[in-house]
Amino acid sequence: MRSEGQVRFIRISGQLQRRAAAGAVVLALAWVVTLGWAGISSLLATWHHDDLLDREAKVASAESRVAVYRKDIGKVADDIARRQAFIEALVRTHVGDLPEDSRAGETVSDSRREAGRTIDKVSAAVPEAAPLARMEARQLAFVEGLTRLADRRSASAEQAIRKLGLDPRGMLAAMDDRRAQGGPLLRLATSADGSLDPRFRRLGLSLARMDALQRGLQGIPQVLPASLQFISSGFGYRADPIDGGAAFHPGLDFRGPIGAPIYAAAKGRVSFVGRRSGYGNCVEITHGNGLVTRYAHMSAFRTRLDRTVDAGEVIGAIGSTGRSTGPHLHFEVRIHDQPVNPRPFLEVAPHVLEEARGPLRSRKQ
């Protein structure tokens, strides 16, 4: 140390230096901890404040959403009502008005009275949900009306089938035939718990029954395979045209020029295309329920095996192949491989089936 022209020296031992350094470090650490704790306290206070604000915001948001939902229930109900009205309009246009009254023997429920009481209870307990309750009642009434319509169509189809001498039970048996079926399990559900409302279950069964009978009607011969004016031989016993002896003729013969078109008498699947002994070039169409139509002596085929054909579709051309004395179509109707007279089908079926379809066809036209 220099003082008044003199220089003095102060010696500090190593031990004292270490003590002084340690004290400085302790003071520095204390200062850092003090500042750090102040910062952490400030940060914690900020976080706590933000958490309170966030929770308050969530409470405010939930309360506002409840208010919005209460306000929008009417709008939601209006949207559903408009969609339901659109569906009902489509049904009326393409099918007809749904019956509201029950007939004797029908098992369809009528929930209108109970639905009215439900609407009153819901309106009293949850006023904002009253439009939804009314919409639910309307929907159930629509389902019941559609079930009645399907049942009446089924009854009409059964009556028509019996008029043609056939048994509708064979067609309905196809509903329970589970052979050669499969696929992923996708259960139907109309409730949040996965259950199916009994009224919807009843509708499904009625529609399945109607569909089976309608498909059965489509498979009944109803279109002339050739011109009825040129039937050259009828069904039953006759003198054989080749050897003159008594013989049984299992079908109808339609005389016509070679190459004239042959039409499918009903909708079905082509189950045979080729030659058969005595029949020559032959096509067979399977219509389900044991019913098959056979077309013989063709000069040409206009279809192929396993093809689905519609009633009136061209499937071949008239010829004289096989055991034949001239160009004609030999036409058979077979039920469980037993030949039956095709004439009643071709003459009566169009009128009977027209009556059975009645409202549906008139609406589509």
The 10s digit of each residue's pLDDT in 90-146 is: 887 777 778 877 776 666 777 778 878 888 887 788 777 777 788 888 888 888 888
Same domain (yes/no): 27, 46: yes
Query: What is the reported pLDDT for 11?
Result: 66
Does 151 map to a domain? yes
| Structural domain contains residue 89 | no
Is the same domain home to 359 and 233? yes
**Exposed, middle or buried, 164 (CB in 10 Å: 0-12/13-18/19+)?**
middle
pLDDT at residue number 267: 92
pLDDT top residue among 55 and 318: 318
- Per-residue pLDDT at 195: 67
The answer to whether position 90 is within a domain reads no
pLDDT at 300: 95
Mean pLDDT is highest, among 37-41, 235-239, 269-273, for 269-273
Q: Is 268 part of a structural domain of the chain?
A: yes
| pLDDT for res 363 | 43
Confidence label for 262 from pLDDT (cuts 50, 70 and 90): very high
If you average pLDDT over residues 178-185, what whole number do you get?
54
Domain that holds residue 24: 13-76
Q: Are residues 201 and 325 in the same domain?
A: no
pLDDT of residue 361: 45
Residues 46 and 154 in one domain: no
pLDDT given at position 365: 42
The reply to whether 91 falls in a domain is: no
Both 238 and 293 in a single domain? yes
Does the pLDDT value for residue 360 go beyond 50?
Answer: no
Last residue of a domain, one of 76, 98, 125: 76
Domain assignment present for residue 182? The answer is no
Residues 43 and 116 in one domain: no
Query: Chain-wide mean pLDDT for the chain?
Result: 76
Overall domain count for the chain = 3
Task: Of 177-186, 253-262, 308-317, 325-334, give the lowest mean pLDDT range.
Answer: 177-186
More confident residue, 243 or 40: 243
Q: Would you say residue 207 lies in a domain?
A: yes
pLDDT tens sequence across 200-238? 888 888 888 888 888 887 788 888 898 766 778 888 888
Here the CATH number for the domain that contains residue 294 is: 2.70.70.10
User: Per-residue confidence at 33, pLDDT binned at 50, 70, 90?
Assistant: very low
Share of the chain above pLDDT 70, in %: 67
276 and 202 assigned to the same domain: no
Q: Are residues 114 and 237 in the same domain?
A: no
* pLDDT of 270: 96
Over residues 336-356, mean pLDDT: 79
- pTM (2 d.p.): 0.61
Higher pLDDT, 59 or 110: 110
Looking at the fold, whether 251 and 200 belong to one and the same domain comes out as no
Comparing 98-107, 186-195, 309-318, which segment has the lowest mean pLDDT?
Answer: 186-195
Shared domain check, 69 and 119: no
Looking at the structure, tell me whether residues 258 and 210 fall in a common domain.
Answer: no
* pLDDT at residue number 258: 93
pLDDT for 123: 78
The region of weakest confidence among 122-126, 277-281, 342-346, 347-351 is 347-351
CA 6 to chain centre: 114
Write down which residue in 30, 59, 76 finishes a domain.
76
What integer pLDDT is reported at residue 205 of this predicted model? 85
249 shares its domain with 357 = yes
Residue 2 lies in a domain: no
- At residue 306, does pLDDT exceed 50? yes
